[in-house]
Structure 1
């Protein structure tokens, strides 16, 4: 039974269209922030409701996961409520002194609503809870230390999904082909087989996946495991502040409405439809498909934002024809992501 059933103060009731209009009509700015912490949470449901009430009052938006193993948050906060938000964080037993990662590029439109969900884990890994000690993590390297380790020939491993590394990565990084973190852990273990004595560098968007991966690799006998402090987001902030060399190429994929923020001027990927240089992710304009793929402006115009001829046909069809096409195609892509052959 849903413990929040009937509690309209703890859920969202507005439609996506209403939420978008509300966001578009705002006259203030928002600050996009992400943070995580692995910490033993005794009652995730109670924490979820507590956070929802506090952050709703501050008009925060975002996607937050709470589990017995901790909290993982990506959200935005009205600039005029930022100090109150920080004060709440600092007063909370689970969140005090939690490191923030502030968005590199921020238009304030990163999220439409506030969603806080109780999950089995804050990052789905497909592993049993007692399979390894998630608190036995590797070393955290700042941007300068990270660059030095790269220059010395350390193994660099991208712990993000394929569609993330396709548009941005560190020079020479190992980029697994997996589309989920649970698929990636065994793939990385196989790739690094026999390299337990080598220096390994792990990176991801904000650090939450690397934190778990470092503990996973140490459990499997890797002796020198390191992760990028604050992930790609904080790396960009550090190199800008210290004038260190930026060794990241391209965009950092983000899991909000922006779908990416530029870390360097390089574009390392191509449009999935015409092959032209492009690193703009979109979702198919046929909402019944919604496939994530890379599409340039020209193809977006020519194909009306669709990923395929069948989806384009659906977009342009009459209401009657749409019903026929739904029965024919069903629009349930067997891939979560479009890949070039």
Structure 2
């Protein structure tokens, strides 16, 4: 289990997934939701017959209790032992409510022949990843969607240009060949998509398939910046938007209209209007109108000294980004040559 030693933060964040046989998911949903709500935990957990996936946050004591519930004392028994778990910490709650959802798959690929419980590729530890991806005989593939890749990726990685993981199958069919691509290395945010992607490639006749254990997040957590081959920031699915090395808060923000992640360059574009539109949704008038009204309500709430409902976490994240930028500017000025 990856854990950052930051106990002084009031909220502990748990990202967890495990492919495991859970034919009784319908019976598991209500007890799990009741347990989390009773502990004040918020976030989303997805249950499917193939396993569990999700990210939640709460007090350190609550999250520790949830870990015990999932892996030992709860109705899951020992089925989730050995799950991929990552812990981080936050100053404010990154989620607004608790949801436990039932789905056919914990990560949707719609490939019935794929079974990560039966076969997956070879796990590669973050410490060994650089040596692997620098080999000329290895094809490196980013299995994430295009908006995630746009914020950051590994050097030399191929971008499948997918808008959903289901499209990954088409990419493989059109651009990868088991007769030509003898060694394929893949990576994703936390590792879960690569479990299915590597299993899928093996089912299609690819011989040697590797994937980054713990995903980009684990790599950024343990790899010194000067040794890193990851360029940019890693998109995360909460109000932090992105993280960098050491899992520090990144500089990306979300467009309030289309929810596309935005870099500093995007925010400097002529089509960016704070709270209303961005270069990725510039022609969607309906989204702009809804976002403009939401921004108006936020501005009114701000004038009255009130927090707009649902925006506390986002506002705090932006405050921390601004503080980070100010600190970087002070450091730059202090180190300027005379």
TM-score, normalization by structure 2: 0.72
Select 2:260's aligned residue among 274, 277, 292: 292
Show CA shifts across 1:81-130 (max 9, x none).
23323322331323223231224x74443211111100011111132x3x
Aligned length: 270
Partner residue in 2 for 1:273: none
- Are 1:140 and 2:123 an aligned pair? yes
Contact 2:15 2:55 in 1 (8 A): yes
Compared with structure 1, are the counterparts of its residues 94 and 50 closer, same or farther at alpha carbon in structure 2 (3 Å cutoff)? Answer: farther
Compared with structure 1, are the counterparts of its residues 77 and 293 closer, same or farther at alpha carbon in structure 2 (3 Å cutoff)? Answer: closer
For 1:279 and 1:81, the matched residues in 2 are separated by: 29
For 1:163 and 1:226, the matched residues in 2 are separated by: 23
1:315 Cα deviation after fit: 5.7
Select 2:18's aligned residue among 24, 33, 37: 37
Question: Secondary structure of 1:75's partner?
Answer: strand
Compared with structure 1, are the counterparts of its residues 134 and 299 closer, same or farther at alpha carbon in structure 2 (3 Å cutoff)? Answer: same
Contact 1:306 1:312 in 2 (8 A): yes
Show CA shifts across 1:58-78 (max 9, x none).
211111111111111111131
Deviation beyond 6 Å, 4+ runs, structure 1: none
For 1:214 and 1:93, the matched residues in 2 are separated by: 25
Root-mean-square deviation (CA), in Å?
A: 2.9
- Are 1:68 and 2:49 an aligned pair? yes
Select 1:191's aligned residue among 175, 183, 192: 175
1:200 Cα deviation after fit: 1.0
1:237 Cα deviation after fit: 1.9
1:262 Cα deviation after fit: 1.8
Question: Secondary structure of 1:47's partner?
Answer: helix
Partner residue in 1 for 2:275: 305
Residues 224-233 or 71-80, more deviating: 71-80
1:194 Cα deviation after fit: 4.6
Compared with structure 1, are the counterparts of its residues 72 and 82 closer, same or farther at alpha carbon in structure 2 (3 Å cutoff)? Answer: closer
Contact 2:25 2:49 in 1 (8 A): yes
Unaligned 5+ residue runs, structure 2? 1-7, 294-338
For 2:270 and 2:61, the matched residues in 1 are separated by: 37
Unaligned 5+ residue runs, structure 1? 1-26, 266-277, 318-341
Select 1:84's aligned residue among 58, 65, 78: 65
TM-score, normalization by structure 1: 0.71
Partner residue in 2 for 1:255: 237
